[in-house]
Every structure is written in structure tokens, then in C-alpha cells.
Structure 1
């Protein structure tokens, strides 16, 4: 878009399909539509297929160090976390299973949560200053349910959720073609095309504003300050 430069932004797309590479992922198919728009605007895009990595269950930054002397023997999450934290934009993609997000998506969110106690250089929670969205595919109901769940989780961790930050596609309820299958109509669906386009642009705009501001505005939201005794004008209960 004229007048807006996104070429210094970075985005990471985490595909939470249950299918390991090189199997076709319909979720990736819809994510690729969003990725194409970002790359056309010069955004540096990183793509992670979570199931291809050994991401251990748990809510610690590194499950190898979770319990002294009793941690996991392997964990790919710390290296993946570096890629997530290097990005201004996070897009989480998931298929639908039983009307909900995949088990892989749950695990990724749990591991993101495991780092939520860390702080940025302003004393804010670590994910402040980043934007996030969600993409959902399947052939059963649940797109909005999953979007609500995922977007709530990501904003709770500190991500900024811009308007229309979700996009999805479902075919006929029950067994039937998936997004990339011939004759599904998925890639041609105007509703989905519009939503994924608006989501992508709104993520870029939000990330642009945040980056130009040096992060999420500081003021009344420093965990470090709160722990040090600052109360940012919160009424003192002793004087009520």
C-alpha cells in the first residue's frame, strides 16, 4: 500500500497440523495465501511446522531444565522460541478436530505460556510489542470457537490482536473435501479470501505501529515496576 513500508517487519507462521512433512497440509494451504500477501509487501516470513519438531509438553521455557536432575532428554522448543521472539507478527494455524484446535496447537500455546513470566527491556511481559492472528481450516464446525480460544490465549500472553485477526475455511460439515482438494471451492471462496486479506493487512499495520513506537507504550504496565512497589494510580485500599 502506498506510503506504508513493511520491509523491516518479520513474521512467523506456526502451522499446527497433525501431518508431518512432506504430507499436504490444508491449513498450510490457507496460511500460504496470507504469507503471499506479506511477502509481496517485503515482510520477512518464517514458517514452522510444529509437528516436525520435538516439542515436549510442559510450561517451562526449556523442558530439559524443568526439574533439576529430572528434566526431558530433548526439547526443540528453545530454538523455535528464538524464531518466534525474532518476529513482529505471529500467526498460529490449526486444523479442526472435534470442533477444537489441534493438540499440537495446544502444546505450542502451552510452551508460549511457559515464557510469559519473562520480561522485555521495559519491564513489560515478554510478548508486548508484537501482533498476532489465527488461521483455521477443517470440514466441521468450530472456526469461531477456535479463533476465540487462540486469540484470547495470545492476548493474555501480551500479543496485540488487531481487528479481524482471524480467518478460516470449512467445507460441508462431516466427511468431504478439505481446503486444497480439487473441487472443494476453498481457494475460490470470497468470504475466506476477504478475511485472510484483511487479517494479513491488519497484522502488518499493527506491527508497523508497534515497531515505530519502539514497542507497546510504557506506562502503568511494568511488571518489574509493580514488583518493586509501584501502583500506577491504583487506589490504595487502606484509604477506602
Structure 2
């Protein structure tokens, strides 16, 4: 459907221009969404001065309001995150904490502000925990109003305690490419369906 957009929030701990496997999988998901005529952008969260908190604007130069504008404008929001110690890292948790403010925000019809938005998650790491990280992200995103499509996560994990990063591979493994394509196709389908038939006001 024409006009659908996405924003990828890259939750790496590394500021630009450092290379990031999380950013790589984020771009791959955005490219796959592009196969369904969905345009978008990638935002590396740590490049912005996002403050800790649970409001839409923590003041004093907080970088979150500008990112929030991109989220509000998008139909699909992708969290691209690494795994640290089997958990989502601090940047990912900070993003989820900032989205907690949306529990108090509504649109012009009184619906939660994130209604009709679709969530995707991309996870990379060289330790176990991809399913756990995706589950934590999906639960929090769903709590604030996002809808999760079928098979809405794509991930790669290397050898346990190994030193190879996703970005070090010559190309993504076939199974990872397949899950990226499936996640994008399902998210695109769901976003189009919600554009045509949005959730009713309660």
C-alpha cells in the first residue's frame, strides 16, 4: 500500500561512525520492507542525547522528542538490538522506558497513540538470548499499543562466547535472510490491513 513508512531504531551501544551489527540487521529489515513499497529511515539512538525517563520530553535538550516524532509518523517501528549478558542492552531498555509515556498519550479519537502501528524486532549477538530479547521487546511494545505480526522477529547469533560479529560475515546466512524476508512481508501485510481497517476507539 502506497504511503506506508517505517523507522528503525538501532539500539547499539556504539556511536557513529563505529560499525554496528545491530545497524546492519536494521538496514536489512528496512531493505526487505522496501520490497513491499515501504520507505523509511534508520536512527541510531545513541547518536542523539536521549535522556533517561518515562515522559515524552525530559527537557533540557532531550533528544527523544525528535525521535518520537518519527515514531508517531511511522506505520512500522523496528527495534534493532544486540544481546548483552542474555538481555536487551541499556539503550533498548531506555527506548522501551521512553515509550512507556505513550500509555498516557492518545490520538484525536482517544485511542492510544501507538494504535495501528506494527512492531518488528531484529536481534544480533554472539551469545544465546535472541528469543528472550525479542520476547521482552514485544511484550513492552504491545503494552503501549503496538501490534505484533506473525513471525515478527529476525535474528542471528554466533558461536557462544565467540568473537565473530554478524557484520563480519560475508553474507547473512540463508535462514536469517529468510526470517528477515518473512518478518518484513508479514509486517507490511499487517500495516496495510490496519491502514484500511484501524482499531476502533474504545
The aligned residue for residue 37 of structure 1 is 32
Task: Give the conservation status (yes or no) of the 8 Å contact 1:12–1:89.
Answer: yes
CA deviation string 1:196-220 (max 9, x = no partner): 111111110010000112x2234xx
Matched, 1:50 2:45: yes
Larger radius of gyration: 1
Could you tell me the TM-score, scaled by structure 1's length?
A: 0.81
TM-score where L is the length of structure 2:
0.96
Does structure 2 conserve the Cα–Cα contact (< 8 Å) formed by 1:91 and 1:133?
A: yes
* SS at 1:162 equivalent: strand
Cross-structure match for 1:149: 136
Q: 1:130 to 1:173 in 2, by over 3 A?
A: same
As a proportion of its length, which structure holds more strand?
Answer: 2
1:194, distance to aligned residue in structure 2 (A) = 1.3
The one-character-per-residue Cα deviations of 1:65-122 (angstroms, maximum 9, x if unpaired) are xxxxxxxx22011111001100000010100100111100000111111232111122
Hey, what's the Cα distance between the residues in 1 that align with 2:172 and 2:18?
Answer: 22
What corresponds to 2:200 in structure 1?
Answer: 217
Which residue number corresponds to residue 124 of structure 2? Answer: 137
Equivalent of residue 15 in structure 1, options 10, 13, 19: 10
- Residues 188 and 57 (structure 1), Cα distance of their counterparts in 2 relative to 1, 3 Å cut: closer
The CA RMSD over aligned residues, in Å, is 1.2
Which gives a bigger RCO, structure 1 or 2 (Cα 8 Å, sep 6+)? 2
Aligned partners of 2:125, 2:63: CA distance in 1, in Å? 27
Structure 2 residue corresponding to 1:28, chosen from 23, 31, 47? 23
Q: In the alignment, is residue 96 of structure 1 matched against residue 79 of structure 2?
A: no
Note the residue ranges of structure 2 that are not aligned, 5 or more in a row: none
